[in-house]
Amino acid sequence: MKFRRLRFFSVFVVAFILMFAVLNSRFVIANVKFWVLGGVVPPPIISDNLPKIEPDKKIVLPDKATLVVGGIGISAPVVFGAGSDTKNIYDNLENGVVHYSSTPKPGMDGVSIILGHSSAYPWYKGVYGSVFALLGKLKTGDKIYVEYGDGQTFAFSVKQSIVFSPFKEDTRLAQIEKSEKPTLVLISCWPIGTNYKRIAVQAELE
């Protein structure tokens, strides 16, 4: 009897792991690449030696940009103008990462929020279903770039990561949102494969 229970438990665990791997195949593939390549997923398409652009409230930024995080293999278009409607934001996540319209554009004074999927089912239509799969691997000091279509490029440095519940207030998140200097916050669902909580990575303009 004890052997049967152990066998049943083993089969259950294996089946669960396989099911998780299939349903979150994009996340699994992203992690395998990260491990195989020793923690760096190329290609970073922006050099660390870019000239810094000083923040200016009067700067004009176009509605075309690319988010690049070389260390975890992100190079994705930023979708502007999606509004605040949840369905519209979700639909636009098929086209890249989405800038939350009520926040300033990355590089301007204040806190800019960008949303992206951490994992999606294999049948998900878009190619960005796991664009933020490795967000939790970012460390303090890691670089995040936003390159606009007109060539203006802003370099941000990671300050911290927090995991929070979207269903209740979080003083840490509230503190981040108060920042008046150019700040970029990347947000995705957490843990992988659920929408129970959110992970937020805060980065400040260098």
Residue range 75-121, pLDDT digits in tens: 999 999 998 888 999 999 999 999 999 999 999 999 999 999 988 76
List the structure tokens of 119. Answer: 């994992």
- Locate all alpha helices (DSSP H) within the chain, ordered by sequence: 2-23, 25-36, 86-92, 171-177
SS3 content of the chain, % helix, strand, coil (to 5): 25, 30, 45
- 137 CB burial (10 A radius; 0-12, 13-18, 19+): middle
Residue range 4-55, pLDDT digits in tens: 566 555 654 455 445 544 455 555 665 666 566 555 544 444 444 444 445 5
pLDDT at residue 137 tops 50: yes
Q: Which CATH number describes the domain made up of 2-205?
A: 2.40.260.10
Average pLDDT over residues 118-126: 74
Contact criterion met (CB below 8 Å) for 98 and 79: yes
Contact criterion met (CB below 8 Å) for 190 and 162: no
